[in-house]
Amino acid sequence: MKYIIMMNTMRAGHGVPEWAQKDLQAHIAFMISLNKELQQSGEFVSAEGLSFPDQAKLVRAGKDGLPVTDGIFPESKEFLAGYWIVDVDSPERAYAIAAKVSAAPGPGGKPLNMPIEVRPIMSGPPPEML
């Protein structure tokens, strides 16, 4: 079964984190090794990192159907920072991966314990019942 594991940026309108160099490096190394681990375990489907929220635009169709773009709104609390799609044997396994992401190292090497959203991905029609 497939799950999406979503990580949010901690604050909207906030760009590059101002961490110490070694903390940044530890965080990056953690993410790279997590991806490798998921690939090696055969659970990795895809993962993408998104640009910082200040690159985001809100788009609506105008009266003529043409796009009307707007900047993002600073009052928005959270923005998607990136996601993993994994194919795992149980929901517990997806939660375990999410917990790992949540505990990614932050300033001073302390776990960030970020809230991570996990949701099942809908599948195609079930096999015929015989």
Query: Is 108 within 8 Å of 23 (Cβ atoms)?
Result: yes
Count of residues touching other proteins (by CB under 8 A): 22
Is residue 85 part of the contact set for other proteins (CB under 8 A)?
A: no
Among the listed residues 12, 19, 102, 118, the single contact to other proteins using CB under 8 A: 19
Binding map of other proteins across residues 20-59, x = CB under 8 A, - = no contact? xx-xxx--xx--x--xx--x-------x-x-xx-xx----
| Alpha helices for the chain (secondary structure H) | 21-40, 91-102
Cα end-to-end span (Å), the chain: 22
Instruction: Tell me the two tokens of residue 93.
Output: 């396994």
Instruction: Tell me the two tokens of residue 17.
Output: 């984190």
**CB 63, min distance to other proteins, A:** 29
Please give the Cα distance from 101 to 7 (Å, whole number).
8
Q: Can you give the binding site for other proteins, defined by CB under 8 A?
A: 15-21, 23-25, 28-29, 32, 35-36, 39, 47, 49, 51-52, 54-55
